[in-house]
């Protein structure tokens, strides 16, 4: 079992690095995560609130 941790990315960062961090954690392209997040935003707006919560809750790489 690996010791992967979920954190905001400093390298794959557009706004806060949330999608980049999730992409690195799941070993998928962060662009795919960003596209899925945009779909969630347009399907009722819950994706926007989830992004803000994730940006506040997920630690940055320097805090890990």
**Is the residue at 4 inside a domain?**
no
**Is the residue at 10 inside a domain?**
no
Q: Can you give the pLDDT at residue 32? A: 93
**Is the residue at 7 inside a domain?**
no
**Is the residue at 26 inside a domain?**
yes
Structural domain of residue 54, as residue ranges? Answer: 18-58
Q: Residue 28 to residues 4, 41, 42, 62: CA-CA distances in angstroms?
A: 14, 20, 22, 22
**Is the residue at 40 inside a domain?**
yes
Residue stretches of the chain with pLDDT short of 50? 64
Number of domain units in the chain: 1
Q: Residue 4 to residues 1, 14, 36, 58: CA-CA distances in angstroms?
A: 9, 22, 22, 14
Q: Can you give the pLDDT at residue 28? A: 92
**Is the residue at 2 inside a domain?**
no
**Is the residue at 5 inside a domain?**
no
Q: Can you give the pLDDT at residue 52? A: 86
**Is the residue at 27 inside a domain?**
yes
């Amino acid at each position: 079992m690996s010791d992967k941790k979920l954190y905001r990315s400093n390298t794959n960062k557009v706004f806060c690095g949330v999608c980049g961090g999730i992409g690195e954690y799941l070993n998928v392209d962060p662009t795919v995560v960003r596209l899925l997040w945009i779909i969630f935003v347009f399907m009722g707006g819950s994706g926007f609130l989830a992004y803000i919560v994730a940006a506040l809750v997920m630690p940055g790489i320097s805090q890990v």
